[in-house]
Amino acid sequence: MCGIVAYVGNQTARGILLEGLKRLEYRGYDSSGIAILNGASAYLVKSVGKVEALEQRVSQEGPEGVAGIAHTRWATHGKPTEANAHPHTDCSGRFFLVHNGIIENYLALRKRLSSSGHAFRSETDTEVLAHLIESHYSGDLEAAVRQALMGVQGTFGIAVMHSAHPNQIIVARRGSPIVLGVGKDESLAASDVTALAKHTEQVVYLEDNEVARLEPGQFWITTLDNRAVRREATVLEGGPEAIDRGPFPHFMLKEIFEQPEAVENALRGRLNHAEGVAKLGGLESVLDPLRQARHLIIISCGTSYYAGLYARYVFETLTDLTVETELASEFRYRKLNLRQNTVVLAISQSGETADTLAALREAKRKGALVLGLVNVVGSTIARETHAGVYSHAGIEIGVASTKSFVSQLTILILMALLLGRGRDLSFEEGESILRDLEKIPEQIREVLEQSDRIHELATRYCQAQHFLYIGRKYQYAIALEGALKLKEIAYIHSEGYAAGEMKHGPIALIDPSFPTLALAPEHGSYDKVVSNIQEIRAREGRIIAVTSWGNTRLAPLVDDLIEVPHTRGLLAPLLTVVPLQLFAYHCAVLRGCDVDKPRNLAKSVTVE
């Protein structure tokens, strides 16, 4: 998370930077800061809380200057204080730096820099970058940044200024986005194109391990090892919504491709390897009642409901809680006999879903401790729950939930770990789940590489009138979610079923025109799913199976195979859901559907 905006040009920088920050506030909101150069003199101010607080101060003080950098922070290393807010400076106070991402070797770097005399003022990982650049500086800012970054492990999107170079801003990225905006006599950079929209239609996306030098109206890109890169600016069309799509034809596809980052954001700062447990700041105030909890009821709607169904298995595996998952629209009208020590968890991307809100109010009325898992910061559900966790998936514009779903799954695992470690889950088990979780973003990237192949599958299957999706245990919820994606986006009738239920009715539907998508990664119930596949095969049903890399045993039994990387069964849904989203997306595009605005649906369902 966090947001960066940078400007160098011929206009007063402060208004442009503040307006950019406000557009980025959804990425971080606990503190912010701004640095402006006016010739060789520098203005630096930071503020805790919303960007509004910073804006008031800056507007009162009215700093002049045509170059500046600004940042809105979502704390990872160190509390949200002024000292920890960005921009950070070096010992000389002449360098200014803002950063998104995490510097993994910051402790080693900090130790080394401290022993050579650098004095640190914050608890952040970011500050080491300012001192590291200072240690490499001998008159050439860009060269110093490049050399410093060569010694850095971790992820970064940065913007750097030095008061001896008032017409220059250096930006660089690895794993954290930076986009450049080029205008007449002005250049901008930001972590998200929305911050640039008002000023320029010409944008350039920086790639990993690239550095750019910005001067008014001009930019130069090089790789970290100093090879020149030529990249033409792309012209943005449409309103601010279209601007956000970047190079993707639809928001849904963009958001599917943002899932590795969504999982990284969900995990950031929340893993405690030393104790094999998750750190969830939003639940700290209720840790005691959570320790006493005996029953958990999860309430939600649609895709969020499927996240809750998955969570039932996860909580049952990692804790000794009795878990129920309920559709909020049903729960709200039930005669509730909540037992003592019942915790209710409301899951919602928007935080505004009317049924979920009504259900949580009913649970509160009955005396339950009510928690929230919400994406939209400050939304009604977030405000009305006793405590909770934000998923930090970023704004989701596509009506069909994709990245918010994988974020929800990720955080539900962290919640279950937190509760489980307070009970009988061992350190070894907790720690080993954390390690496997950290591999998931990279493994999702590997699945995303198969988008073209899934497009090819979609061309062969998209004319089907009906589809069946089957899975067991952790994959049951994914079967339901896959079927929902196909029906809501591609308008193909599709049903998700627990694979074991096939023989109790749905198998009657199977014939060569009724394909099945079977979720069959090689875990606990794999053999049972294979038996169900055999049953479909015997009725001449066409089958696409999603299984683990290299599982060729399934090939003779199915028509098409999609393979996903190996992980433990509990985490496999984070991978198997991705081809299902891509399949629905490609089918929808091939059928000429309006992917981002499917008929009859709205992003936030605020009516009953």
Residues in contact with ligand F6R by the rule CB under 6 A: 301-304, 348-350, 353, 356, 400-401, 484, 488, 604-605
Query: Can you tell me the distance from the alpha carbon of 184 to that of 201, in angstroms, rounded to the nearest whole number?
Result: 11
Say if CB 395 and CB 603 are below 8 A apart.
Answer: no
Of 186 and 355, nearer to ligand F6R (C-beta) is 355
Q: Which residues contact 155 (CB under 8 A, 6 or more apart)?
A: 100, 101, 102, 174, 175, 176, 264
Instruction: Look up 593 and say whether it is catalytic.
Output: no
What amino acid is encoded at 34 in this protein?
Answer: I
If one counts every other C-beta atom within 10 angstroms of the C-beta of residue 301, the result is: 21
**Crossing angle of helices 106-115 and 127-136, rounded to 10°:** 50
Give which of 446, 388, 451 is closest to 415, Cα–Cα.
Answer: 388
Of 590 and 605, nearer to ligand F6R (C-beta) is 605
Of 194 and 348, nearer to ligand F6R (C-beta) is 348
Catalytic position from the list 50, 198, 364, 603: 603
Give which of 126, 98, 128, 94 is closest to 112, Cα–Cα.
Answer: 128
- Which residue matches tokens 């119930």? 525
Whole-number minimum distance, CB 154 to ligand F6R, in Å? 32
Q: Strand pairing partners for 171?
A: 159, 212
Whole-number minimum distance, CB 75 to ligand F6R, in Å? 25
What amino acid is encoded at 179 in this protein?
Answer: V
- Alpha carbon of residue 285 to chain centroid: 25
Whole-number minimum distance, CB 349 to ligand F6R, in Å? 4
Instruction: Look up 2 and say whether it is catalytic.
Output: yes
Whole-number minimum distance, CB 297 to ligand F6R, in Å? 16
Of 167 and 604, nearer to ligand F6R (C-beta) is 604
Terminal CA-to-CA distance of the chain, rounded, Å? 33
Of 183 and 302, nearer to ligand F6R (C-beta) is 302
Give which of 379, 382, 408, 378 is closest to 262, Cα–Cα.
Answer: 408
Pairing of strands 295-300, 342-348: parallel
Whole-number minimum distance, CB 313 to ligand F6R, in Å? 19
Query: Can you tell me the distance from the alpha carbon of 260 to that of 62, in angstroms, rounded to the nearest whole number?
Result: 40
| CB-closest chain residue to ligand F6R | 302
- Which residue matches tokens 């601007």? 243
Whole-number minimum distance, CB 260 to ligand F6R, in Å? 20
Of 488 and 596, nearer to ligand F6R (C-beta) is 488
Catalytic position from the list 2, 301, 462, 593: 2
Query: Can you tell me the distance from the alpha carbon of 13 to that of 242, in angstroms, rounded to the nearest whole number?
Result: 26
Whole-number minimum distance, CB 434 to ligand F6R, in Å? 26
- Which residue matches tokens 């930090």? 392
Of 195 and 347, nearer to ligand F6R (C-beta) is 347
Per DSSP, the three-state class of 381 is helix
Whole-number minimum distance, CB 466 to ligand F6R, in Å? 20
Give which of 34, 41, 80 is closest to 56, Cα–Cα.
Answer: 34
Of 418 and 484, nearer to ligand F6R (C-beta) is 484
Phi and psi for 241 in degrees, rounded to 5?
-65, -45
Active-site residue set: 2, 603
